[in-house]
Structure 1
Amino acid sequence: MNTQLTIDERNAVLISMANLVEKEKDNILKANKIDLDNYSGEDLAMEDRLKVDDSKIEGMVHSLKHLASQEDPVGVERFSFKHENGMQVYNRTASFGTVMIIYESRPDVTVEAAGIAFKSGNKILLKGGKESLNSNLEIVKLWHRALEDNNVTTDWVEYLQFDRKRTQEFLAHPDQRVDLVVPRGGERLIKFVKENSSAQVIVSGRGNNFVYVHENADTDIALDVILNGKTGKISACNAVDKVLIDANLPNKEEFLKQLQQTLSENNVEIIADGSLESIKGSRPVKSEDEWYEEFLDYKALIGEVESATEAIEKINKYSGGHSASIISKDDKTAQHFMENVDNAAVYHNASTRFTDGGQLGLGGELAISTDKLHQRGPIGLQHLVTNKWYIHGNGQTR
């Protein structure tokens, strides 16, 4: 399986897969129901990620068709140079080779992330969690049918049905070439992969995202952004966990009252820090660890800062390096905040929920990287490639 597939071959497989997911929707939903019935339900966020419904199926189909419509990310010229000795030098994008995706509970990853990896000319090794096994095996069966229908070997998509010990052994000493490993899940999973992998790892890290309500904020916008970020999808890594209120906000007490009421109406537990402990119905922070924690639950920690500078310092100390938003009518302060907050995505008067490959114009994502190499934020089709130098000569020696 060393030969690269043409772009037409890759697109044909993606279209076939989209049609099969649509056609076999009922079988995917049946397999997913078995997984849901087997799941203990102890983790609200994981259960949300595990569930497949009509909307998620539509998302899978749309993702595959959109991928098929996009330009080939492989072989794109990034640089060219004519050497003084007459050699012609090019730098072009190239596939990684084999990409391993290790993920928890999300059957849609088996479609969307695999689709992005495949379109980029990579072989995919999928290692899903045991909680979504039936859903994943049903979807991989469709991948194999899509490949076979286009006379392409099923080796391009492989599901690794390994337990933790076998996964650990495979990461350290793979029995086939692995060029890149992408873990998608909680901090325990990411730590496990980083400690054991002999291949390069791109970390799709924790969220723990912040909203800073500046003293010159439009408080209506602030309420909308906080509510959307907190309750839109609690299992998402782009959800909001922390809210910083500027001590100099003119109508601070009124705003806090509105915020408390809005969050309480949406069943969000409020954890209040320091001077804000008087917020009705809130509980105090148990320890500093809560500032670092990604909640993935209906709870929000609200704290107070004296300035934008203090907000920036707090975010850079505690956040997961994912997303942060400033609510302010002051463009200069907002620009300063955005330039100095060390996150993959920074927002001005908008929700952190937009940190997503589809929403940011990439058509989907393999993962959202909180690393700084080789791509930060959503990893889309055009980022799942490395590069390669092509040098043409006629006998030049150095």
Structure 2
Amino acid sequence: MPIDMKLLSSEIKNQVLNSMISIIDRERNAVLDANKKDLQAFNREDQALYDRLVVNDAKINSMIQAIKEVQAQEDPVGKEISDVTLDSGLKITNKTAPFGTIMIIYESRPDVTIEAAVLAFKANNKILLKGGKEALNSNIVLEKCWHEALEENGLSKDWIKLLHLKREETQEFLKNPTEKLDLIVPRGGERLIKFVKDNATCAVLISGRGNNFLYVGKDADWEKTIKVIVNAKTDKISGCNALDKVLIDKNIPNYQDKVKELQAVLTNLKVELVVDEHIGKILPKENVITSQDIWYEEFLAMKLLIAEVDNATTAIDMINNYSGGHSAVILTEDIESAKVFMEQVDNAAVYHNASTRFTDGGQMGVGAELAISTDKLHHRGPLGLKQLVTNKYYVFGDGHVRV
């Protein structure tokens, strides 16, 4: 039986994870030393990518915690979805089942080598990891830890495998895979996602760009607004849940004063501002938009676009047109306005008076996540353990034939 079809007991899977917790802790210095090599070789011009590459003791502790959380979760495989007996006597049971083999392609972050693999493995999937060359040394050490944990428990190390492929080789593998592939999850920017979609021959689940919007309604509490914008923009610029665009309703009381206050707060935090022509009249020293392409851009930097809108309808239309489908926020004290906004904005996560930084598996109660899906098939939002299974129908008959 192929490795990716073998069903493992919950007990053996949790034993592997238990081994992995001990091994990573033991090999902590080896992981840190390998990561230092990656950091020394990296060009720091891309600060967001550099931030994702860094592994320290706190990051290793987070890896261990992610494994513990997944270990504690209920096995998602073989759970009954429905069970019916038809008038004909056929008994039909629908249960969760593994995908088979999942390939994840990602840039920079070595912690994905842990979080992606632990989720896929607990859901009984074989996982192929294609990390970026910038994290090669870190990923090699983490793969060795996985292989030790698997073999220590009598399992093949092929369950979790790091692919050492150059771009051209990856392209050929996607077009003509040398082994069965059931699902590919690309984690990265637009170029990576397009590369995978253009070349893959199996299902691709998009973990899309951020380009997250926040709309300040006319009934917004300004103190809350400042607090949420600052957190969403500056807490972690490399996160796909960071804020990129702010749309301010021109009907908010003391509109110009509030725009100037927001500028002062963000400038003090060293956030570069880009403004539309309307905001530019209030903030004449800021750079005005020169190309409409910027509306589609995910910044991953201390940079924020601020624009004026007439009302919530305009804001909703702009978000649905330009955003990456990830996260969007409305700041308002009007519950009905918030409800309309949240229902009509087509994003994976919509917020009322809260930061986009909460779009995260751990923050949303899902636990460790494979990615934030901006696709609608088969799941949108954090891809946790329960989302890494498909389903299978079991049909029981007694010589039944269709007439």
Q: State the TM-score, normalized to the length of structure 1.
A: 0.99
What is the RMSD of the two structures over their aligned residues, measured on CA atoms?
0.9
Provide the residue aligned with 1:142 in structure 2: 145
Secondary structure of residue in 2 paired with 1:84: coil
Provide the residue aligned with 1:199 in structure 2: 202
Distance 1:243 1:198 in 2: 38
Provide the residue aligned with 2:240 in structure 1: 237
Distance 1:184 1:144 in 2: 23
- One of 361, 373, 376 as aligned partner of 1:369: 373
Secondary structure of residue in 1 paired with 2:220: coil
Deviation string 1:31-62 (CA, Å, 9 cap, x unpaired) is 00100000011211100111111221111110
Distance 1:199 1:15 in 2: 33
- One of 65, 84, 88 as aligned partner of 2:87: 84
Matched residue type, 1:352: T
- One of 323, 327, 330 as aligned partner of 1:323: 327
Provide the residue aligned with 2:343 in structure 1: 339
Provide the residue aligned with 1:226 in structure 2: 229
Matched residue type, 1:83: L
Structure 1 residue 374: Cα displacement: 0.6
Deviation string 1:299-318 (CA, Å, 9 cap, x unpaired) is 00000001000110111111
Distance 2:273 2:105 in 1: 33
Provide the residue aligned with 1:351 in structure 2: 355
- One of 275, 295, 298 as aligned partner of 2:299: 295
Secondary structure of residue in 2 paired with 1:388: strand
C-alpha contact (below 8 Å) 1:260/1:280 kept by paired residues: no
Provide the residue aligned with 1:385 in structure 2: 389
Structure 1 residue 251: Cα displacement: 2.0
Matched residue type, 1:81: V
Distance 2:401 2:161 in 1: 44
Matched residue type, 1:344: A
Deviation string 1:139-195 (CA, Å, 9 cap, x unpaired) is 000000110111111010111000001000000001100100000011100000000
Provide the residue aligned with 1:123 in structure 2: 126
Distance 2:44 2:375 in 1: 31
Structure 1, unaligned runs of 5 or more: none
Secondary structure of residue in 2 paired with 1:243: strand
Provide the residue aligned with 1:51 in structure 2: 54
C-alpha contact (below 8 Å) 1:270/1:281 kept by paired residues: no
Distance 2:392 2:137 in 1: 39
Deviation string 1:251-278 (CA, Å, 9 cap, x unpaired) is 2222212211111111100101111113
Structure 1 residue 281: Cα displacement: 4.3
Deviation string 1:69-122 (CA, Å, 9 cap, x unpaired) is 100110111111101122211000000000000000000000001111111100
Secondary structure of residue in 1 paired with 2:317: helix
Distance 1:58 1:304 in 2: 43
Distance 1:18 1:265 in 2: 42
Structure 1 residue 394: Cα displacement: 2.1
Provide the residue aligned with 2:26 in structure 1: 23
Matched residue type, 2:102: V
Pairing 1:74–2:74 present:
no
- One of 269, 277, 287 as aligned partner of 1:266: 269
Provide the residue aligned with 1:96 in structure 2: 99
C-alpha contact (below 8 Å) 1:102/1:126 kept by paired residues: yes
Q: State the TM-score, normalized to the length of structure 2.
A: 0.97
Distance 1:397 1:125 in 2: 41
Distance 1:35 1:286 in 2: 37
Structure 1 residue 280: Cα displacement: 5.9
Structure 2, unaligned runs of 5 or more: none
Secondary structure of residue in 2 paired with 1:329: coil
Distance 2:217 2:224 in 1: 12
Structure 1 residue 17: Cα displacement: 1.0
Distance 1:81 1:90 in 2: 6
Q: Comparing 273-282 with 62-71, which one deviates more in the overlay?
A: 273-282
Provide the residue aligned with 2:158 in structure 1: 155
Distance 2:130 2:356 in 1: 29
Structure 1 residue 364: Cα displacement: 1.5
Matched residue type, 2:94: N
Provide the residue aligned with 1:307 in structure 2: 311
Secondary structure of residue in 2 paired with 1:91: strand
Pairing 1:36–2:39 present:
yes
Distance 2:82 2:34 in 1: 47
Distance 1:157 1:143 in 2: 7
Distance 1:68 1:227 in 2: 35
Distance 2:285 2:373 in 1: 36
Pairing 1:13–2:16 present:
yes
Structure 1 residue 23: Cα displacement: 1.8
Distance 1:100 1:367 in 2: 12
4+ aligned runs moved over 3 Å, structure 1 = none
Q: What is the aligned length?
A: 398
Matched residue type, 2:279: L
Matched residue type, 1:25: R
Provide the residue aligned with 2:6 in structure 1: 3
Structure 1 residue 244: Cα displacement: 0.5
Distance 2:328 2:284 in 1: 26
Matched residue type, 1:295: F
Q: Percent identity?
A: 55
Distance 1:19 1:67 in 2: 15
Pairing 1:284–2:284 present:
no
Distance 1:391 1:317 in 2: 44
